[in-house]
């Protein structure tokens, strides 16, 4: 998007008229023999001039009219745009007016000439009102049997659009005239014309020449051809009635009227008229009601920015929002979620929803975010709004704490045997998923096979409060109680929180706050939000590398063999005791992804449901496709870092 599109409408310009070939070559009467028409024209001009002179005197009495000087600081409401990280448009957000503001010199000369030809050909010579023009318009329209010229000047139309109601009364017309003259005394012609072209309504909830050009012809206003310009100029008087989207032949007739008017003014030649008429016109689409290309993403972004800047700023402020999302990866993620839903879960027989979040560990930019199987049927964003128990997907926090304590290594031995802990007036006795015990095993084996009892014992050894502290350091903001069962996932988290934390493990302890928003600028191009990564080392690199080394075994020989993708990867399954929530969260050096599968009504998924069987295949499908063009990277070994 051009940086010029951020400029304020009120751009100072030289008082330079729109280029014409012969300003004096105005043809008022096509046939010199039409003496009667000429006489009528003369009388009309004289009478109109007298009326205009009287209006100048009346202007003094208009004490309560709007102060047109407020236009010095006027900024039209402008559409906000949301882009992916590569500049691809995801969505536009606007109130009633879908508008993008541009400077006058960013509008094609043909477009400016076409508008003036049909709306106000004497614009650069009158002072806001044009009595002679009113007479000429009356005769031209009478002769043609339809409206081919407007009686109001561009300045009068601007006044009507900005300050007045649409009622058709003599008093309102007088006010319009007075305000137009006042504006002409304060502002330069180019300033007024620029305001007009950015303010005028072009149909289909589209305001301003730039937005209209993008809608009707899928191009910027500066690139409009003569034929396109003439068609757009012909729409101003009745945009919906003349719209080429609704009746192309009517729009072509309006185009011809504008071209003929431009020729009669000697602004274009007969050959140019014929060439413009013959030019094939490729129409765009109505943009005001276009749906988002990534609705779960854009809704999350707009909610965050609305909370920060307010609803009006987002709907009218003309903000340019660059997200961290990669649209191709986002569309891939949406396709994988939808396909997996039908392929693995029988169209909701076992699970009715899936959420997925993918984060770049190097920046903590969210690259893809899917909040559900189908946004049209459910707008609830499970990726950021739904807190569900992670089960064993929480265990890496515990094992990291153990490694970082300096008391344990992946090869340390722990006893997987029955144990009981006092818990208030009761006792807590953790059990493994299969009800068995394995005796003395290494921590590596305990995590690969997702044993519960060793995780609880480690939690007691390093301290539950220490685990909570680590989770907070990794960006977990959800409520978290320091209960004995916390190591087994007795906490409700969002997929975004888990993906962000695992991304820090993948980056050996370097952390930035995960974000969907890279940068936001206002309508003038000023940066109002900049989320350039500022990573901080928040974890011990050796402990992070040791954890990653163990989590690779989860995929190669543990509970997540369904997540193998043909390259080094680390991750952890998660399954709650009730089988209501199943997870797989895993990563490679370039991408960390969390997948949750479950039911919105907390209905159990069924006996035997596990993260390795339900969530890992979804993760595998997404990662294989998302990484196909990325080089294979190995994880760094723990021995490359200093032990705590």
Separation between Cα atoms, residue 569 and residue 557, nearest integer Å? 12
What angle do the packed helices 170-186 and 35-58 form, to 10 degrees?
80
Separation between Cα atoms, residue 168 and residue 74, nearest integer Å? 26
Separation between Cα atoms, residue 623 and residue 197, nearest integer Å? 48
Q: Tokens at residue 360, please?
A: 């770049």
Separation between Cα atoms, residue 489 and residue 426, nearest integer Å? 20
Annotated catalytic residue within 121, 392, 450, 523: 392
Per-residue 3-state assignment (H helix, E strand, C coil) for 383-442 = CCCCCECCHHHHHHHHHHHHHHCCCCCCCCEEEECCCCEEECCEEECCCCCCCCCCEEEE
Separation between Cα atoms, residue 204 and residue 285, nearest integer Å? 10
Separation between Cα atoms, residue 457 and residue 554, nearest integer Å? 20
Separation between Cα atoms, residue 549 and residue 534, nearest integer Å? 26
Determine whether 48 is an active site residue.
no
Question: Could you count the other beta carbons within 10 Å of the beta carbon of residue 136?
Answer: 22
Question: Could you count the other beta carbons within 10 Å of the beta carbon of residue 22?
Answer: 9
* CB distance 493 to 384 below 8 Å: no
Q: Which of 53, 64, 70, 59 is nearest to 10 (CA)?
A: 70
Tallying the residues shown for the chain, one arrives at 644
The CA-based angle 545-383-317, given to 5 degrees, is 110
Separation between Cα atoms, residue 377 and residue 353, nearest integer Å? 11
Q: Which of 601, 621, 622, 614 is nearest to 386 (CA)?
A: 601
Separation between Cα atoms, residue 395 and residue 498, nearest integer Å? 12
Separation between Cα atoms, residue 92 and residue 5, nearest integer Å? 15
Residues 6+ apart with CB under 8 A from 171: none
* CB distance 607 to 579 below 8 Å: yes
Annotated catalytic residue within 78, 100, 106, 119: 119
CA 244 to centroid of chain Cα atoms: 28
Separation between Cα atoms, residue 282 and residue 356, nearest integer Å? 39
**CA gyration radius, the chain:** 34
Determine whether 436 is an active site residue.
no
Separation between Cα atoms, residue 181 and residue 131, nearest integer Å? 13
Separation between Cα atoms, residue 2 and residue 117, nearest integer Å? 28
Q: Which of 102, 71, 95, 75 is nearest to 211 (CA)?
A: 102
Q: Is 579 strand, coil or helix?
A: coil
Any idea which residues carry the catalytic annotation?
A: 119, 392
């Amino acid at each position: 998007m051009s940086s010029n599109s951020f400029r304020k409408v009120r751009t100072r310009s030289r008082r330079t008229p729109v280029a014409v070939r012969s300003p004096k070559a105005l043809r008022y009467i096509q046939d010199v023999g039409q003496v009667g028409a000429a006489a009528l024209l003369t009388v009309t001009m004289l009478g109109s001039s007298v009326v205009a002179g009287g209006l100048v005197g009346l202007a003094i009495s208009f004490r309560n009219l709007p102060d047109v000087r407020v236009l010095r600081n006027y900024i039209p409401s402008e559409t906000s745009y949301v882009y992916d990280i590569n500049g691809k448009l995801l969505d536009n957000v606007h109130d009633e007016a879908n508008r993008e503001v541009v400077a006058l010199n960013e509008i094609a000369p043909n477009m400016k000439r076409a508008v003036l030809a049909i709306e106000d050909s004497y614009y650069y010579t009158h002072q806001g009102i044009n009595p002679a023009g009113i007479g000429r318009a009356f005769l031209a329209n009478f002769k043609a049997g339809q409206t081919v010229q407007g009686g109001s000047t561009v300045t009068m139309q601007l006044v009507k659009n900005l300050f007045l109601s649409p009622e058709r009364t003599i008093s309102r017309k007088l006010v319009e005239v007075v305000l137009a003259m006042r504006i002409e005394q304060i502002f330069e012609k180019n300033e007024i014309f620029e305001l007009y072209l950015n303010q005028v309504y072009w149909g289909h909830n589209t305001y301003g020449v730039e937005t209209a050009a993008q809608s009707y012809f899928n191009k910027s206003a500066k690139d409009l051809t003569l034929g396109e310009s003439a068609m757009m100029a012909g729409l101003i008087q009745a945009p919906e009635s003349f719209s080429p989207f609704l009746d192309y032949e009517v729009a072509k007739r309006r185009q011809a009227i504008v071209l003929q008017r431009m020729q009669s003014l000697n602004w274009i030649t007969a050959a140019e008229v014929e060439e413009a008429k013959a030019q094939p016109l490729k129409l765009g689409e109505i943009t005001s009601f276009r749906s988002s290309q990534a609705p779960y993403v854009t809704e999350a972004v707009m909610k965050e920015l609305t909370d920060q800047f307010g609803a009006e700023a987002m709907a009218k402020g003309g903000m340019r929002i660059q997200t961290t999302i990669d649209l191709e990866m986002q569309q891939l993620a949406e396709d994988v979620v939808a396909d997996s839903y039908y392929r693995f879960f029988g169209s909701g027989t076992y699970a009715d929803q899936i959420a997925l979040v993918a984060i770049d560990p190097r920046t903590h930019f969210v690259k893809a975010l899917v909040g559900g199987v189908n946004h049209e049927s459910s707008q609830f964003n499970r990726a950021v709004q739904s807190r569900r128990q992670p089960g064993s997907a929480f265990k890496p926090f515990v094992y990291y704490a153990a490694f970082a304590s300096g008391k344990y290594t992946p090869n340390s031995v722990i006893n997987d045997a029955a144990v009981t802990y006092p818990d208030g007036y009761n006792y807590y006795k953790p059990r493994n998923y299969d009800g068995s015990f394995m005796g003395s095993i290494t921590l590596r084996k305990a995590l690969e096979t997702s044993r519960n009892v060793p995780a609880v014992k480690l939690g007691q050894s390093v301290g539950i409060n220490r685990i909570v502290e680590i989770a907070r350091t990794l960006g977990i903001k959800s409520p978290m109680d320091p209960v004995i069962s916390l190591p087994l996932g007795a906490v409700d988290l969002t997929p975004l929180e888990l993906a962000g934390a695992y991304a820090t493990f993948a980056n050996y302890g370097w952390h930035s706050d995960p974000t969907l928003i890279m940068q936001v600028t206002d309508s003038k191009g000023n940066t109002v939000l900049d989320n350039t990564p500022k990573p901080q080392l928040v974890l011990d690199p050796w402990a992070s590398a040791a954890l990653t080394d163990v989590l690779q075994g989860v995929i190669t020989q543990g509970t997540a063999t369904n997540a193998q993708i043909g390259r080094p990867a680390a991750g952890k399954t998660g399954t709650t005791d009730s089988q209501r929530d199943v997870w797989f969260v895993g990563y490679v050096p370039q991408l960390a992804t969390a997948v949750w599968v479950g039911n919105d009504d907390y209905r159990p998924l069924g006996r035997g449901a596990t993260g390795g069987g339900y969530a890992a295949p979804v993760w595998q499908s997404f990662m294989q496709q998302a990484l196909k063009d990325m080089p294979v990277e190995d994880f760094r070994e723990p021995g490359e870092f200093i032990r705590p």
